[in-house]
Amino acid sequence: MTKLTLGAHPFLLGFEQLERLVERTAKSGNDGYPPYNIEQASETSYRITLAVAGFTEADLSITVEDRQLVIRGRQQDDADDRVYLHRGIATRQFQRSFVLADGVEVGAAVMENGLLHVDLNRAVPNSVVQTIEIRRTGS
């Protein structure tokens, strides 16, 4: 019995990239740090919030690479001059990736009380109806 892949289904013409997108998302390997929320702010906007306590704006970078939102954090280690009796605040580097659908654009990014908010906006596509003429072959 042959396996029918999602991108090869006869009703999904032109969606070959969908299977690659699902595989890339599954391989992103996010380990749960830092924790995040995704909320729908309106019909066409979303907000991703990451808990980045201890990071400054200079420690963070936000890029869009091949329809993928990538948020990276890297802190300078200042532990050389401190002696910790208990160290429970994570200061490790991280990379968090989110795959963006076509038409979703990254808006503003704001730091507030140890939370990084990244706003996303989805453009509403225009409804297009196209009539295709049926030609008669020569007789």
Token reading at 116: 């990084």
The answer to whether residues 117 and 49 touch, using CB atoms and an 8 Å cutoff, is: yes
| Model confidence pTM above 0.85 | no
The answer to whether residues 56 and 78 touch, using CB atoms and an 8 Å cutoff, is: no
- Dist CA 109 CA 55 (whole Å): 14
> pLDDT tens, 81-117?
788 899 887 678 999 999 898 889 999 999 999 999 9
> pLDDT tens, 39-97?
999 999 999 999 998 899 999 999 999 889 999 999 776 666 788 899 887 678 999 99
Going from the N-terminus, what domains does the chain have, and what CATH number goes with each?
Answer: 1-30 (no CATH), 32-77+87-124 (2.60.40.790)
Contacts of 64 (CB under 8 A, 6+ apart): 70, 100, 106
